[in-house]
Amino acid sequence: MAKKVLLGILGLSLALAAAAWAFNGSDAFQTQLQGIKRQQLGPALGVDQRTVDQLLLIEQRYGVQKQQLTREAMEANRQLQQVMQNPQPREEDVRVLMDTMERKKKEIEAVRQRQWEEQKALLTPVQQARYFFYLQHVTREARSVRSPAAPAAPRAPVGKAPEGVPVLRPNR
């Protein structure tokens, strides 16, 4: 159960980072979000302002690392898409880019884990759970601010894949 909560918190922190990053790292948005957290986090978790400041400092310190790694992973993804436009992509190029993306994903997860361990040390289990729910709430709010009534992304028809990607069907 504790592992599920931890994974949920880690996933939510990624979602929050992605939602915040969707604003192109806007300093104004980041400043506003930090101000909101600084005001709400203490009462929401039942902690003092010193603990709130420590939590936010940890988040900020690791956030820079996560953003850099995320940018690197996205660049590898962009390069992979470019390589795959070639009808006969070089396997070595594809392998290197896939390895890079996988490595970046693991590095991001390791940074998240270190962040959570530091934050967890400041909180009781009840406060950890409250933090988990608070992050869920903030993530939903950040997404609604980003796109209040965004239409659903277009989907490929069932049974079709993007051009150049084979569709594998199980034997019936």
- Check if the beta carbon of residue 30 is closer than 8 Å to that of residue 145: no
- Check if the beta carbon of residue 163 is closer than 8 Å to that of residue 157: no
Please report, in tens digits, the pLDDT of each residue of the chain (172 residues total): 555 444 444 444 444 444 444 444 567 877 888 888 999 999 999 999 999 999 999 999 999 999 999 999 999 999 999 999 999 999 999 999 999 999 999 999 999 999 999 999 999 999 999 999 998 888 888 788 766 665 555 554 444 444 544 444 455 4
What's the pLDDT score for residue 16?
44
Tokens at 114, concatenated? 């270190």
Tokens at 88, concatenated? 């006969």
**CA dist., res. 14 & res. 112, Å (int):** 8
Q: Which amino acid is at 16?
A: L
- Residue 153 is given by DSSP the state P
**CA dist., res. 86 & res. 82, Å (int):** 8
Rg (CA), the chain: 20
Phi-psi region of 6 (alpha: psi -120 to 50; beta: other; left: phi over 0): alpha
Show the DSSP H helices in 86-171 as ranges: 91-120, 125-146
What's the pLDDT score for residue 162?
47
Distance of CA 60 to the CA centre of its chain: 14
What's the pLDDT score for residue 1?
53
